[in-house]
Structure 1
Amino acid sequence: MSTSTAAFSSDWVGVIQRTVEVENSMKTADTELQDKYEICRCIEFIKSGKYQKVALQFPDHLLVDSVAIATELEKNTGAKLFVLGDTSYGSCCVDEIAAQHVNADCIIHFGRSCLSPTRRLPVLYVFGRQEVDIDHCSSVFNKLIEDTSTHLVVMYDVVYSHIISLLEAKLSHIYSNMVISKFKYENNSTEKDNYNGGTEPNLVTDDIQTFTISGRQVSLSPGKQIADYIILYIGGESLTLTNLMMSLNRCTFFTYDPQTRRGQQETLNINKALMRRYYLIEKAKDARVVGIVAGTLGVADYMNGISRVKQLVKKAGKKSYTFVMGKINIAKMANFMEVDVFVLISCPENSLIDSSEFYKPIVTPFEMEIACNQAREWTGDYVTDFRQLLPGGDNFIEMPSDDVSGNLETDVSLITGGIRRMGEEKDDIAVSSSAIVKRDDVLTVSTVHATSAEYLSSRSWQGLEQRLGETSVSQAIEGQKGIASGYANEKSSSKET
């Protein structure tokens, strides 16, 4: 009797030749393209700007309609159209880098967006139009919020923006103290020229304060702060909702998901989430080598954000390297084990990375600010937009001046229990650069920094060195056949008679 011990393995030929079912996005009917993708608005945008080369950016699930849209726009405008398939970073961000590769004059961004401002090219946003049962949505919110005098702010996913005026008319008869958030983003040259860096300050006009967060602007009642409001959010679970809840963690959130037709009070344990982020701050304080990862090359002021983190890290007596690697993953980050912690410069929605599966923690610029800027304290408030931390931003705090005595601040690590010193040391080597694309500013194996050089020398494999005359010549032998779960020789040897 013969049995096989590979109970969970299968023949390697069958595995390689197996057909995998992939769920494809449904192509939109030609009769629905005009309304869903606002073709007429796109045509007007191209013609009014007299653009000759237009880049169309789609998320993966909308690429199925890209050819039909490009054909329709090209036929009606005479412009040359380019489809940006695989975005350099998150699909919510405008990919100006890919557009510049084809010398595009402008970008039309389709689908969800984080509404992060751009700088290089004019942008037209086409969010799409998801259906909403307005009557049902209104009745659900009415059941959740019975006190009609409650101060409310209605926020929503961008794909539901087309129904907001109808919803506002419906809810305004019920709630007297309700305000609707409006989108505020910069997408033309006029607004760019008038922009002075940082984020838009909270304006006060006729005792009405304007509050801006994640591209959403809210006009608050006189004497009221955003923390005095309850947030009604229209949309399902998403990075947008998580970002808003972390940034407005003092507000109560009620949500309505048009897809499931369910409304509820969000019960995300913000305190627990903030404590997890505080743990990462302690890891950042303990770090000696910091990797600054450019998670965007399109969001305005990203270079200022990188420079700000460099300045913080240097002043805290740490080494820093800058990385440009596109979309990050575990394998990419694992190549730089000499780095103790990474700082991701990205849009607000992509900055909160769950780094539990990564070999080294990934923190936000705000968390690195708390770790390195002695003038900033942990209060429980959270900032996801790195632009707010820059000079001119709402949450900018200047670093304290140098200690003339030369003494370094010391405190106790809550993770290791050891004493750590905070402050810039005299022998620290600073790296300065005005452009992220400079080769000297990106970590390579030929770096001159002692910390990385020492780590590299301890590695058994340091790259593709030739080592001429050092490696003995051996005869080539035949390798194993099959797949790792069951090689051919392992199967034959495991059989018992």
Structure 2
Amino acid sequence: MADAFSSSSETVIQRVLEVSLKSNTPVDKLEELYQIKATCDFILEHQFAKVALQFPDELLGDSVAIAEEINRNTNVKTFILGDTSYGSCCVDEVAAEHVGADCIVHYGSACLSPSKRLPLMYVFERRPVDVDKCASSFRELYPDSQSNVVILYDVNYAHVVDDLVTLLSAEYPNLVSSQLVVEGERCYSHGFVKSNDSSPPEQDGSQVIYQFGRQFSLKTGSSITDYSMFYIGEEGAALRNFMMTWNRCSFCSFSPATTTGRAESISVNRALMKRYYSIERAKDASVVGILVGTLGVADYLTIIQQLKETIRRAGKKSYMFAMGKLNVPKLANFLEIDVYVLIACPENSLLDSSDFYKPVVTPFEMEVACNKQREWSEEYVTDFRRLLPGGQSHVPLADQQDESDETDVSLITGALRSHNLLNGEPAEAASSSSVVLRNQTLTVANTNSAASFLAGRSWRGLEQKLGDTPVVKAVEGRRGIAIAYEEEGTAS
């Protein structure tokens, strides 16, 4: 058997790799796990003709069998959406519109971000949970029966929460269970609460919390900081998002896979300081890249426009990128960008940028860096919709007439930096000049754009050089792969 470094290029190209695949679900278990009957009822009730079935990578093995069952019971045309443009937790409405689908059925984990283009139905996995062991772990983690605890959970474990509350409610009178709330008039979720109002009114004086597709009520006179959080699910983006947002609450979790519970010991303060370092990098930046990480979450175009204005008012240049799933090589192609801001759903916004050449921040962090009216505090916002006008965390920009040219010192470089470099300067004039006259504090201010950076690079990519290259006949080039071209012979 030839190895990967064989001198034969054909052997390497044709070599078969063994990849372990998840075994498919038996046909008799499909109804239990994927709610096929409820899905068919949803399709027939609304008389859809084309249905897009969106699956995450780990569930694609069952996609064909599910599509065949739906076709057999509804006689509709189904399309399977596999590799999504962005995170699989978000609804890929763009791909569904490409095939002319009338609705989307989203399977598996979901961030429950609102989508408004097409009718939508969520079908969560019914992952197994040992409810008795979960209750035992809860009692060990909260020995005080008077504890104020909110039960949170991954959407794939929603089917066991009622049974868990039944076991614990008699012992824990202050136990609060969150509910999944799907926002949007055209959004459906079989067996769960539906709501069209993202800001539910207070009921009987109690405070109603609605965030990240979860809704729960706090007792009268209490706040979220008076409660602890008990999370059912595995460690991942959802838990990290909850812990960063409610960073003043203690968290415990139960892993259904290992049937063990634990107190979360991750230092949230250390994570927040890491994020604050990224904010300082954003303050130092001159050129900002706006990464479009979603085309399905509602109001993503509005936050783009708000960010562009905020960045412009702070004297920085911005460029917009739409590149699908992010990776290090993609972002490394743009050396002129000092910092990136990612517009995505809450679960995908907290990107660990330690492997990237330049920091990747959230819209909230960019606003802290550019909007003088917003201050760094205990509040941390991962949902960009809360930053828009009318949102609970919206902070308007200061009037340009009231803005003063303030300077401060970078905590990273120790250099003096100035805000509002474009104050009083037309956008066209500022973008066309590399140096503009300033006040007595800073004589000149550099407003170089990415084009100026490109002009100063020693290598700018392939150039045509028309007239400089002689015309010659085409000749046959090398064949094979770089490790051993065919004309090089066999290495000894």
* TM-score (norm. length: structure 1): 0.87
* Cross-structure match for 1:240: 238
In 1, Cα distance between equivalents of 2:478 and 2:72? 57
Q: Choose which of 27, 50, 55 in structure 1 pairs with 2:24.
A: 27
In the alignment of these two chains, the number of paired residues is: 464
Q: Choose which of 260, 267, 270 in structure 1 pairs with 2:268.
A: 270
Q: Choose which of 164, 168, 171 in structure 2 pairs with 1:171.
A: 168
In 2, Cα distance between equivalents of 1:290 and 1:145? 46
In 2, Cα distance between equivalents of 1:68 and 1:430? 57
* SS of residue paired to 2:183: coil
The answer as to 2:199 corresponding to 1:227 is no
1:175-215, CA deviations, whole angstroms, 9 ceiling, x for partnerless residues?
11001000112243399xx969xxx3363221111011211
> Is the Cα contact below 8 Å between 1:123 and 1:188 reproduced in 2?
no
Q: Where does structure 2 lack aligned partners over 5 or more consecutive residues?
A: 189-194, 430-446
Q: Choose which of 293, 306, 327 in structure 2 pairs with 1:295.
A: 293
> Is the Cα contact below 8 Å between 1:296 and 1:346 reproduced in 2?
yes
* SS of residue paired to 1:403: helix
How far is the alpha carbon of 1:222 from its aligned partner? 0.6
In 1, Cα distance between equivalents of 2:38 and 2:262? 35
* SS of residue paired to 2:449: helix
* TM-score (norm. length: structure 2): 0.88
* SS of residue paired to 2:217: strand
* Cross-structure match for 2:121: 124
Partner AA of 1:380 in structure 2: E
Q: 1:472 to 1:414 in 2, by over 3 A?
A: farther
Partner AA of 1:125 in structure 2: Y
Q: Choose which of 212, 215, 228 in structure 2 pairs with 1:214.
A: 212
How far is the alpha carbon of 1:334 from its aligned partner? 1.7
In 2, Cα distance between equivalents of 1:53 and 1:339? 42
* Cross-structure match for 1:356: 354
In 1, Cα distance between equivalents of 2:76 and 2:428? 47
Q: 1:483 to 1:90 in 2, by over 3 A?
A: same
1:128-154, CA deviations, whole angstroms, 9 ceiling, x for partnerless residues?
100011111101110111000000000
* Cross-structure match for 2:50: 53
In 2, Cα distance between equivalents of 1:292 and 1:426? 24
Structure of greater relative contact order (alpha carbons < 8 Å, 6+ residues apart): 1
Q: 1:416 to 1:472 in 2, by over 3 A?
A: farther
Partner AA of 2:289 in structure 1: G
1:87-145, CA deviations, whole angstroms, 9 ceiling, x for partnerless residues?
11100000011111111111000000001011101110001100011111101110111
* Cross-structure match for 2:435: none
How far is the alpha carbon of 1:18 from its aligned partner? 3.8
How far is the alpha carbon of 1:300 from its aligned partner? 0.7
In 2, Cα distance between equivalents of 1:485 and 1:172? 69
In 2, Cα distance between equivalents of 1:234 and 1:190? 25
How far is the alpha carbon of 1:160 from its aligned partner? 0.4
Q: Choose which of 84, 91, 94 in structure 1 pairs with 2:91.
A: 94
Partner AA of 1:338 in structure 2: E
C-alpha root-mean-square deviation of aligned residues, in Å? 2.6
> Is the Cα contact below 8 Å between 1:481 and 1:489 reproduced in 2?
no
> Is the Cα contact below 8 Å between 1:281 and 1:367 reproduced in 2?
yes
> Is the Cα contact below 8 Å between 2:55 and 2:107 reproduced in 1?
yes
Matches within 5 A, 1:96-115: 96-115=93-112
Q: Where does structure 1 lack aligned partners over 5 or more consecutive residues?
A: 1-7, 432-448
> Is the Cα contact below 8 Å between 1:124 and 1:187 reproduced in 2?
no
Matches within 5 A, 1:52-451: 52-189=49-186, 200-201=198-199, 203-404=201-402, 407-423=404-420, 424-427=422-425, 429=427, 451=449
